[in-house]
Amino acid sequence: MKVLVTGGLGFIGSHTVVELQNKGFEVVIIDNLSNSSIEVLDGITTITGVKPHFEKIDLREKSEVVRFFETHKDIAGVIHFAASKAVGESVKEPLMYYENNINTLVYVLQELSKLEKQNFIFSSSCTVYGQADELPITENAPVKPAESPYGNTKQIGEEIIRDTCKINSQLKSIALRYFNPIGAHPSAEIGELPIGVPQNLVPYITQTAIGIREQLSVFGGDYDTPDGTCIRDYIHVVDLAKAHVVALERLMENKNLSNYEVFNLGTGKGSSVLEAIKSFDKVSGKKLKYQIVGRREGDVTAAYADTTKANDVLGWKTKLTLDDAMASAWKWEQKIRNK
């Protein structure tokens, strides 16, 4: 079975390619390398022993999307990661985010709808919930007005897929709403590779520990949480990647209950920013330098998943811990700096 992974050299995409190849799928990657590196292809190949087919394509170029699908009519499924993903940047560059995250989704769905097999996995986000009224967050929680253009693109993306599924009974789709992916492959061949200053907590932690950043800023110490810092559901990227394979197989085996389904992907456990730092200190043997500063616009107080539906209906659950994720992220950071 041939599977297209858009954004397949990115953080979550590359780990998913590894898990797909481990299951025997033939993988084709599209990536424009705007927020990833071609060297990731070597990392994937080292882990699996198979070099995936790669095409450098910018999905905003509709003619390129058409050309690709005309030459790959035997694709049995698409996992769509390609998107811009920084909340802060999206506030400053909303039109870039709407073009990159919405137009590309439309173009891919238009071409996928011409194929015999139309199985589609969408990379969504828990940002669609905003600050949820109840914790843990179930899939039935209301979708709140987005806090950022990035969050809005995920909401609109889900609406586009749902509307398309209503009029195209051949299209089968699952939207996976991730909580906070962290960590790296245990081999340290692939991991999170932010370009410029990291937007996410864990790369900032590891870059501070190795001396690239002077200290970590913890945004807000006065939240209504046990230690005053924000609470998030940190999920190991390898567990997350495996969920994409399970979801795709669900569609391919016609186990889906409707042609549009939604699943939360998290551990079901919330950890504060300070707890995450303590976990890193423990596994690395280092004492991280950090200071608590003012709150950051757009941050919610707490978000963690109710994973019942993913566990019972999708048949997937996490196996790796926060400590596992921190240890793998630190191993990856040390490897890339020693190159």
DSSP SS3 for 9: coil
Query: Count of alpha carbons within 13 Å of 45, Cβ hemisphere only?
Result: 11
Tokens of 212: 């690239």
Q: What would the DSSP string read from start to end of 65-123?
A: HHHHHHH-TTEEEEEE--S---HHHHHH-HHHHHIIIIIHHHHHHHHHTTSS--EEEEE
Task: Quote the CA–CA distance of 142 and 125 in Å, as a whole number.
Answer: 14
Task: Quote the CA–CA distance of 266 and 318 in Å, as a whole number.
Answer: 8
Count of residues making up the chain: 339
Task: Quote the CA–CA distance of 268 and 133 in Å, as a whole number.
Answer: 16
Task: Quote the CA–CA distance of 191 and 203 in Å, as a whole number.
Answer: 10
Residue 150 designated active-site? yes
Task: Quote the CA–CA distance of 147 and 299 in Å, as a whole number.
Answer: 8
Task: Quote the CA–CA distance of 12 and 90 in Å, as a whole number.
Answer: 19
- In the chain, helix, strand, coil percent, each to 5? 40, 20, 40
CB-CB contact of 319 with 241 (8 Å): no
Task: Quote the CA–CA distance of 272 and 68 in Å, as a whole number.
Answer: 44
Angle between the N-to-C axes of helices 273-284 and 322-337, in degrees from 0 to 180, rounded to the nearest 10: 60
* Of 150, 178, 223, 260, catalytic: 150
Tokens of 331: 């191993």
Gap between the terminal Cα atoms of the chain? 36
Task: Quote the CA–CA distance of 2 and 74 in Å, as a whole number.
Answer: 7
Active site residues: 150
